[in-house]
Amino acid sequence: MSANRYLSEITIEQVHQRANYLCEYCHASEKWHYVKFTVDHIIPINKAGSNSIDNLALACFHCNRKKSNKISAIDEQSGKEVPLFNPRNNLWQEHFIWSTDKTLIIALTAIGRATITTLNLNRTRIINIRAADVEVGRYPPPGDPIQA
């Protein structure tokens, strides 16, 4: 049987719980968004990906839309094609860190740089939302590293 986009409600809830209701790319909290987050196929179905829980990630609408069916991108610093951040194979803290004001995601690696650029993780609107969330103490997520 070939893979398709259908996912059971149980699988969708498992993905949400595993991610602690955070977008696994930009670390936005679903709790504070108006639109329910979506389940992303890390390796898209049209690129031989599957519906396996190990190929699924929770993504906010924006990250999911920007990622689309991409699995790699050009790191502008090195000029090389690198894989995009894969929440199942990579640790967020190894590729990203928060700026001292906690509003910008800073790349630590080529994968981080390519992912920030491709998914536009520091777009103006989200920076403004993060700043407001920082003021009320609900951002960034606990445990995320912050630039010293």
Taking the C-alpha atoms of residue 138 and residue 29, their distance in angstroms, rounded to an integer, is 9
Residue 74, strand partner residues? 81
Task: Spell out the alpha helix ranges (H) of the chain.
Answer: 9-18, 61-67, 92-95, 110-119, 124-135
Q: How do residues 67-90 score in pLDDT, each as one tens digit?
A: 999 999 999 999 999 999 999 999
Question: Is 128 among the domain residues?
Answer: yes
Domain interval for residue 129 = 9-135
Question: Is 41 among the domain residues?
Answer: yes
Residue 54 has pLDDT above 90, yes or no: yes
Question: Is 140 among the domain residues?
Answer: no
Q: Is the pTM of this model over 0.75?
A: yes
Mind giving me the DSSP string for 1-27? Answer: ----S---HHHHHHHHHHTTTB-TTT-
Question: Is 147 among the domain residues?
Answer: no
Q: By C-alpha distance, which of 42, 48, 50 is closest to 6?
A: 50
Indicate the Cα dihedral angle 19, 13, 85, 93, nearest 10°. 10
Name the domain count of the chain.
1
Question: Is 56 among the domain residues?
Answer: yes
Indicate the Cα dihedral angle 131, 133, 135, 139, nearest 10°. -100
Under a CB-based contact definition with an 8 Å cutoff, are residues 25 and 58 in contact?
no
Q: How do residues 20-39 score in pLDDT, each as one tens digit?
A: 999 999 999 998 888 899 99
